Structures are given as structure tokens and as C-alpha cells.
Amino acid sequence: MSVIRRPDEKGLEKVDADPDPIAERGTLGLSEEARQEAQRRYPVVAPLAAQELVSAADARAAAALLGVSSRSIYALVARFRASGGLMSALAPGKPSGGRGRSRMPARVDDIVTAAIYDTYLTRQKRRIVRLVEEVQLRCKKVGLVAPSAKTIRRRLETIRAEEVARRRDGPRSKSARRLTSAAGHGPISMAPLDIVQIDHTPVDLILVDEITRLPVGRPWLTVAIDVYSRCIVGFLVSFEAPSATSVGLCLAHSGVEKRAYLDGLGLDAEWPIAGVPRLLHLDNAAEFHGEALALGCQQHGIGLEYRPKGQPHFGGVIERLIGTLMGLIHDLPGTTFSNPAERGTYDSDAAAVLTLSELEHWLALAISGRYHHEVHEGIMEPPLARWKRGIAEHGDPRPVANSREYLVDFLPVVRRTIQRDGFTLDHITYYSDVLRPWIANRDRCRSFLIRRDPRDLSQIFVLEPDGRSYVTVPCRRLERPGISLFEHRQAVRTLKAGGRALVDEEVIFRTIEQQRGLVKASAKKSRAARRQLARQTPAAEPPVDRVAVMPTIENERADDQASGSPPFPMERW
């Protein structure tokens, strides 16, 4: 180790650093002693480097653990970040230089780092010229040759832009928030499915109709990601705007094993991500505050946590994922790109070739065959490798016991009393013989909890009074075609606009048949009509069977008791 001259001038203590030079170099040139020292420093420095801002308290605590000064901790963090997370960057020794590495002597590099944090990264916002002067002064005091202004500027470039903004402008400044809205760090996940984030986005792609192959517009993507491994847990692509239904279907897709789903798409790929998450992290959109989501999570022991207001980086993991997926989609024909300026003169409608089902197929392949196998910058390893390592260390997540029931538990809810002819929802009556015991004792029964899939109103799922299972109750008129809630509401609006005060089931279905005919006839003329036609077919479904829970009613009793749960208003779907 070279001898460092330490004059006794006042003020030198604040820039004094670890007497052992802190170098960044390859492992081939490290001695066994240096390698062991790097291994000792790694578990202390790596977590600090992952933070956007290293507080003085954290630096002091780390310094105490390693037996160095706080300034040396900042220097170690800076070197570790600049190296891309290499353990060898933490080894003592003379720096070897090279692309992306510091060629300054270690002692000089420490002085530059200390001056940056003391002089430049402060709320006084001193100019770079003042920083250069401070470095020159400190180097002169200890008898070292100061680096050039160009070298100091390059050293500044290794510091994250968000850290510069936070220290110079304040953590809540617009500049800091702009830089950290997607790149910020949220709560730490300790194991697979410990934390799952869910969000929606319009897809930057124009799709075409399955039959006419004419443009129908942009779909919506709902996607869930495991924060620990960055694996995509599940997704849903649909023309329907975000709703409680899309959240529920995405969760259903997330919970179940994907082998059958991939086989159905003809994909020979691996997607082992499945299970019940411990905690869901969500933003504050209305569809994330619905009764269905709250009840489903309560049923399956899933915690709910919402993004704190004023902290957009809380959902940074899912937002970065959406950016990654949209970046891949920008290579597809028919992309709209991120904005009109980026799109330029590109004709997205004319270039569009993919249908909704084809996009779903492409996304499944992109996720299982590409995204999960590429090194993720946030965790420095492929998501699938991180998932498997987490499973080996922590065990499998809690599995979904019954995929069909899991789906039903996240469908939108409503409460209704039972009548002689069954249940009536939105002018449609549902009846089955399984309801007879409850109809006979309807005076004792209060309201029933009912769920339905808004994509198909041909059946509803009624929770038994004992709360143990659902029964499937079909539409009373079995010959009725399957219709969506979108079509149903449109028909009701049409009838009311025509002055019909009383709306009944027969008229609704007749109106829907007429509307379908008009839409098909005009599909080649109007994008809106084609989009409406696309909504008549079921949205992309999760890899679970169509729910048909019809338990056998043993020992039918005339004294079935109601659950006693208080009624609540219908949830918006």
C-alpha cells in the first residue's frame, strides 16, 4: 500500500477515507485476500447501491460494519453502481481502468466522491466549476495531483440522475418525481408471490377484426407481475375498458398453472408461475376498490395495499414492465408507438394485421419464450432463474385449490332476494330446480350473494345460504343466446331512447338480435361498428374451464337458512 501523507490542517478529517485503496478491477487480478474483502463488503454495499438515495444514517451504519469512513461507503456505492453490480468493484487494490472504470488513483477517486456529495449534491446547487475548484483544493492539501475538469464531469455521469435531482432539488421536487415515477423503489419482496403488482394500459397497437380483417382499434392489457422475480404472473387482453371483471380475470389467469393454456395455444414453452399471492399492490383506480376484489382477496387470504398518494414510484415495477412490453409491441405491424411524434407518417391502420386472439398468442410467446429468459436490469438475472432460485430457497407459493372457484370468487358481485320464479337481474330471469328449497322458504331467506361474468349473461353463480359453495343458475329461457353485459345495456338504452318505459326480457333479446344484424351489415363501413362486433364475442379468457359449479344438493331441506349477511348495492361492472 502506498504511503498517504496526512497533514494536520483543519478540515482534512471530513474527506479522509479508508486507508486501503478501494479499487474496481476484474477477478482474475485479485489476490485471495482481496477477494475475501470484496465478499465481506458485498452484502453491506449491494443493498445500499439498490437504493435511490443513500442516507447519512445508512452510510454511518455501513461504515461501522466495515470499519471504514462514511465517505468510503459513498465511494464504494458509486464504484459498485458504475461497475453494473460487480463484486470485484468492492475489492481493495489499484484500479485497472478500462471502459466504464475509473482510471484515477483510489485516493483521488475518494476525494472526488467526497467533494461531489459535499459540494455538488446539495440544495445550494453549486455549479460544476465550483466542484472542480473544491477537488483541486482538497488534492493540493494532501499532495495529490487533481484530475481534470473533464474527468470530474465523467465521474458525475456515473451518479444516477434521480439521486442528483433528489439531493439538489429535494425528494418531492418535480424533477425528482419525474425521474422516479417509474424508476423508484417500492416495498421489498422477500420471496416468490410475496408481492404482486397489477395495472392496466391501452396497447400501442391497432388490431383487426377476426372476420373482415379490417381495423377495430386498440385493446387494453391488464398484467400482473411478481415483484420478487419480475416474472409475469398473468395477463388479460381485451377490448373492454379496465373494470372489476378484467382485474378478476387477470387474477384467475395468474393463479393457475399455465401448461394447459400454453398447450391450447400450441406453444412448447415453460411458464411455471402460479399460486396465490400474499399481497397485491394496486393503484387507486376505481376498479381496484370494488367489492368483488375485496371479497375475493378476503376469501383467499390475499392482502391489499394501495399506492400512497404522491408516491408514483410505488408502482415502479409494473410500470417498467408495461414499458418493456410496449417496447416489444412497437416492432409489430400496426403499432401506434408511444405518441404521434414518434409515429410520424406511419399509417397504423393500413399496417395492422393482428387480431385480438393473435395478439394474445404473441404476448404469451413473448412472455414465456423471451421476457422470462432475458437478464432483467433490476435484478441482474433472468426472471425465470430468479423465480426458480426463490422456490428452492423459500418453497412453492400457496397453490390455488380449485381454479374454477378461484375465478368465480373474483367476479363482480350483487345481492338479490329470491322470488317465485328465481332471480331477476337487469330484466333477465334466472331459474333452476336447485332453487326450489330456497324459493319454498323465501320468507326466511334474506338476500343472496350473486356473481356473474359480464362477458356471458346466460348464467349466474349463486352462493348457497351456508356460504360453502356456488351453484350455477342458467337463464330461465335456455334457448336464449349468450350475450354480454355491454350488449344488454346498449339494448336497454335503445329501448328507453325509443320511449319504451317498461323493458322486459323478450324485448331485450329481440333488440339485441336486431342490433347484431345491423352491426354485421355495417362492419365494413365503420371502425366503431367493427369494435362493437368484437365485443360481442367473449374477451380473452384465462386458462381455466368455463365455470360450471353445480354441487349436488343432499337432503334438500325446507328450512335452509340464509347467511344473514346485510345487503349491499350492486357493484358497477
- Please give the distance of CA 345 from its chain centroid, rounded to a whole number: 32
Q: Is residue 468 predicted with pLDDT exceeding 60?
A: yes
Q: Is residue 319 predicted with pLDDT exceeding 80?
A: yes
At residue 168, the pLDDT reads 81
> What integer best gives the mean pLDDT of the chain?
75
Which residue do the cell numbers 408511444 mark? 338
pLDDT per residue over 354-390, tens digit each? Answer: 888 899 999 999 999 999 999 888 888 899 999 999 9
Which residue do the cell numbers 482534512 mark? 12
Ordered by where they begin, the domains of the chain are 12-175 (no CATH), 195-402 (3.30.420.10), 407-536 (no CATH)
Q: Quick check: helix, strand or coil at residue 464?
A: coil
CA-wise closest residue to 237 among 542, 31, 550:
542
pLDDT per residue over 197-236, tens digit each? Answer: 999 999 999 988 776 778 888 989 999 999 999 999 999 9
Cell of 187: 416495498
Q: How many Cβ atoms are within 10 Å of 283's Cβ, its own excluded?
A: 17
Q: Among 112-126, 233-247, 534-548, which stretch is predicted with the lowest mean pLDDT?
A: 534-548
The whole-angstrom separation of Cα 365 and Cα 385 is 18
- Band (pLDDT 50/70/90 cuts) for residue 127 is confident
The whole-angstrom separation of Cα 256 and Cα 432 is 30
Please name the amino acid found at residue 417: T
At residue 124, the pLDDT reads 84
Overall pTM surpassing 0.75 (yes/no): no
- What's the per-residue H, E or C state across 96-156? CCCCCCCCCCHHHHHHHHHHHHHHHCCCCCCCHHHHHHHHHHHHHHCCCCCCCHHHHHHHH
What integer is the mean pLDDT of 289-296? Answer: 82
